[in-house]
Structure 1
Amino acid sequence: MINEIQLIEQINQGDTAAFRQLLELHHRKVIHICLSFVNDPHDAEDIAQEVFIEMFRSLKNFRKDASVSTWLYRLSVNKSLDFIRQSKRQKRGSGKVGLMEKTDLERLSISNWQMPSDSMEEDDKKKLLYMAIEQLPERQKKAIILSQIKELKQQEVAEIMETTIASVESLLVRAKRKLKETLIRHKEEFI
């Protein structure tokens, strides 16, 4: 197994091959966490690139008692949320569809005529769920995505969010309650 601490020391001494190796170890994980927030592969790639640039700049300050994976997850979450905030500021007042909603609509519009009705209904449910998640307060959104979509353990979520397990549990309870209310309200609107 590769010792990440040794890789970091080699990188800090100017070894670019060590950086490439560390990047290859974590690239897929970073892309997946970014994708779970922005739901667009191109945006996720761009954000991942920013994550690795930030990682490279910050390696000299890396605390060797922390996990590289946890640190990168935290960077990925923060960069993804920064991207979402920036996109919302740019779109404010323009009448454009939100990030998650837009990508889901594009996917649906391309594939609606190709899929059986059961698949369309499933896509509609996913679209609705992502739209409801998008409306959650930021910390609740982080907790629900990391816990339920990325299926991380609560301890890992707590480390990434720099909080306690009890706080994560509380955020999840509130997020689930709010999601349920949003989904019920949405269902009643169409009945």
Structure 2
Amino acid sequence: MKNLKNGNDESFRIIVDKYQRLILNSCYRFVYNRETAEDLTQEVFIEVYRSINMFRNDSKLSTWIYRIAISKSLDYLKSRKRKKRFANSKSLFENEDMIGSTSLKDEIQAPDEQSPEKLLDNDDRIKVLSLALDCLPENQRIAFTLSKYDEFSYKEIADVLGITISSVESLIHRAKVNLRKKLYNFYREYL
């Protein structure tokens, strides 16, 4: 750690080699796009390199790196939502013939309003789970993803999120309940 804080490039390369795949997978589970996940992973390690002297050793290095990865992924998703909202409102005002003819709700169908056949025709079952995960509140999605995909312990998740272990248990329980509801509604025709 001391070498890393002193700017030793070899130490940094070791850290990148050790965590790159894990961080890439974690970012991918937020954005579902390989190129974007790779870009975010690169941003994470740039941030690690720039701010390594701010690391206080009050948690594991991996926990600190995961916090950065989650933050970068969520920032990306928030900026993408803002861009989509702007693009939608801009297109509505550019084409005045659309106003009054159809509602925005008719044009943009929410994932849980689409039929199972349509979703399965468009993508596979993994996409369905991804859509269900996207519908979860942010803190539930993060806790569930870290637990089930990254195989973090509840203590590690608590450290990453800066919450108690009992809060992590609650978040994961609520995420499972919400996912069951979403997936049951989707698959009930097939049960």
- Scaled to the shorter chain, the TM-score interval is 0.7 to 0.9
- CA separation in 2, counterparts of 1:141 and 1:26? 21
What is the CA deviation profile of residues 19-69 of structure 1, one whole-angstrom value per residue up to 9, with x for unaligned ones? 222222221221111112112111111001111111112111111232111
Q: Select the residue among 4, 11, 25 that pairs with 1:18.
A: 11
- CA separation in 1, counterparts of 2:136 and 2:55? 31
Moved over 4 A (4+): 95-98, 188-191
Equivalent residue, structure 2, for 1:71:
64
Equivalent residue, structure 2, for 1:61:
54
- CA separation in 2, counterparts of 1:25 and 1:174? 32
Partners of 1:140 and 1:172 within 8 A in 2: yes
Q: Which amino acid aligns with 1:170?
A: S
1:53-132 alignment, distance < 5 Å: 53-92=46-85, 94=88, 124-132=124-132
Q: Secondary structure at the match of 2:56?
A: coil
Unaligned runs of 5+ in 1: 99-107, 113-122
Equivalent residue, structure 1, for 2:152:
152
- CA separation in 2, counterparts of 1:39 and 1:169? 25
What is the CA deviation profile of residues 61-87 of structure 1, one whole-angstrom value per residue up to 9, with x for unaligned ones? 111232111111111111111111111
Q: Which amino acid aligns with 2:134?
A: E
Partners of 1:36 and 1:150 within 8 A in 2: no
Q: Which amino acid aligns with 1:166?
A: S
**TM-score, normalization by structure 2:** 0.75
- CA separation in 2, counterparts of 1:12 and 1:153? 28
Q: What's the CA shift for 1:17?
A: 2.6
Identity %: 39
Q: Which amino acid aligns with 2:76?
A: F
The structure that has the greater radius of gyration is 2
